[in-house]
Structure 1
Amino acid sequence: MSAVLTLFCLPYAGASAMSYARWRRNVPAWLDIRPVELPGRGARAGEPLATDLVDLAAQLARELRGETYRPYALFGHSMGSLLAFELACALRAHNLPAPRALLVSGGSAPAHRDYLRFRQPLNDAQLLAELTSLQGTPPEALQDPELMRLALPVLRADFLLCGRYRYQPMAPLQCPVHVLAGTEDRASEAQLLAWREHAGAGFSLELFAGGHFFIQEQERAVLDHLVACLETTLASPAMPLPGLAGVRPDSHFLCKGAT
């Protein structure tokens, strides 16, 4: 069967679209996983790295605008959660169809983040220390000088992208917001629940065992949860998903960790 919903996936700092490549083979046929490549990496390595997150979101909105007239949702992890949020806002500013859901992972709500430590460029030693503490990069990769020579400039630029971002208050989005987080990650429950301020039609928070990169440690559980969120939140008489006839389009639920 052909896919009826597209999930655009925004990468975390230092990553390319390849970080979501495995997901495409491990979701139901009705869901099309579409990793979004950012300038300066992967297939867009020849383009300059972004220096302003809001401008980058506006650029992505222009690039994706033709694909918003089919049912879609947005997902982002860490830096990607912030970018997915700003992309949803940029699409709204262009009067384009809203996503059926915003799914954000591994990051506090925009107005509740600590940006200070990334406001100035980090040197190589500081970047390597940060990568080590996040436990998302294999030790052999951290010890590969050539690989790090290529990866660290992208990571440095992405950290600056986050550090120089400033949230501007705005109306809630016209879609549900689903939050995923690791039990051992840095964000507090209050910082995660603050995402509810941006939810216009439902909210959930789900906690997974693990640290910042729980999406790697708990990949199967994460994918199952994403699919369940999209099924529950997105099924409607206008867009029935397989096996979900009769599910109300305004389904609202709070998962563990939410109040």
Structure 2
Amino acid sequence: MGTPFIDLLALPCAGASATMYLRWRRSMPPWIRVVPVELPGRGIRMGEPFVEDFDRLVAQISDEHAASMRGRYALFGHSMGALLAYCVAQRQHALAGPLPRAVFVSASPAPSRRDPGRFVGKDDDAALIADLRKQGGTPEEVFASSELLRLTLNTLAADYRVCASFRYRAGEPIFAPIHVFAGREDDIAAERIEAWRREAGDVCTLDWFDGGHFFIRQQEQQVIAAVVRELTHRFSGADHVATASA
């Protein structure tokens, strides 16, 4: 028997759209079905208003992807997306819904170690552009195009308001494996990354990658390999029900 199909719901970082994961579909084995999650106000949902309240956005993501989350699924999120992914899993746990087979959190401090205040007041263009430059994940063509830059800044400002609205609530850990990815040159202190272990009621692993906040692009194939490794490990036993050839 082979490895079962699984949907990998992939949540974008602040200021980005689902397109940041489109290339992953070509690099993943066929039994991992990448589902790039598009948030309101960007990409193919450009005509919709931004959702700027964290809890409301988590609930909307959960409702919109309820069908995927009734089957085998895992969650992946980068930066803001990591926090959203974890809180989607936490909501599933609270509602006694099906839990993800794994939660991948990339380039994010643990929820208990976040500082929502760092996002407050960052809605003027100069501050937003400075952050984009500092994080290093924005292509130069975005800065060269006034239209693209405007769209990016509007999205980033809305997402910063989402992050500022997050409030940590200590509760039961989720009983799903948490796999933490971090960049060695990112400016997030190691102990804020390692604090993810306190959120896990099950397995928690930590992988370090060369690069800064956007190591996910600099080391894309290594990141994908780590995701495949962990999901393969999760399905290496008796859970082999469906096969990639089914």
**What range is the shorter-chain TM-score in?**
over 0.9
Q: Which structure 1 residue ranges, 5 or more long, are not aligned?
A: 244-259
User: Distance in 2 between the 1:99 and 1:30 partners?
Assistant: 16
**What is the SS of the residue equivalent to 1:65?**
coil
Runs of 4+ in 1 over 6 A off after TM superposition: none
Matches within 5 A, 1:60-99: 60-99=61-100
Report deviation, 1:241: 8.2
Residues 20-70 of structure 1: per-residue CA shift (max 9 Å, x gap):
000001011111111001011111112110111111111111122222221
Between the two structures, name the one with larger relative contact order (CA 8 Å, sep ≥ 6): 2
Q: Normalising by structure 1, report the TM-score.
A: 0.89
Q: Distance in 1 between matches of 2:103 and 2:82?
A: 9
Paired position in structure 2 for 1:255:
none
Counterpart Cα distance in 2 of 1:69 and 1:114 = 33
Q: Shift of residue 79 of structure 1?
A: 0.3
TM-align CA RMSD: 1.8
Aligned AA for 1:78?
S
Equivalent residue number for residue 252 of structure 1: none
Aligned partner of 2:28 in structure 1 is: 27
Change (3 A) 1:24 1:2: farther
Q: Partners in 2 of 1:81 and 1:24 — Cα distance?
A: 19
Q: What secondary structure does 2:104 align onto?
A: strand
- Give the SS at the match of 1:68: helix
Greater mean deviation of Cα atoms: 11-20 or 109-118: 109-118
Query: Is the aligned partner of 1:223 residue 2:232?
Result: no
> Displacement of 1:240 after TM fit?
5.8
Question: In structure 1, what is the equivalent of residue 134 of structure 2?
Answer: 133
Compared CA separation, residues 119 and 241, structure 1 to 2 (3 A) = farther
1:4 offset after TM fit, Å? 0.6
Q: Number of matched residues?
A: 243
CA contact 1:65–1:96 (8 Å) conserved in 2: no
Q: Which residue of 1 aligns with 2:44?
A: 43
Call closer, same or farther: CA 1:176–1:10 in 2, change over 3 Å: same
CA apart distance, 1:93: 2.8
In 2, distance between residues paired with 1:115 and 1:3?
A: 38
Amino acid at match of 1:4: F
1:155 aligns to 2:136 (yes or no): no
Contact map agreement 1:65 1:91 (CA 8 A) in 2: no
Structure 1 residue 108 displacement after superposition: 0.3
The yes-or-no answer on 1:144 pairing with 2:132 is no
Report the equivalent of 1:192. 193
Query: Where do 5+ consecutive residues of structure 2 fail to align?
Result: none
Alpha-carbon distance in structure 1 between the residues aligned to 2:191 and 2:120: 23
| Matches of 2:242 and 2:115, distance apart in 1 | 39
CA distance in 1, matches of 2:63, 2:94: 11
Contact 1:106 1:180 (C-alpha < 8 Å) held by counterparts: yes
Match for 2:77: what amino acid?
A: G
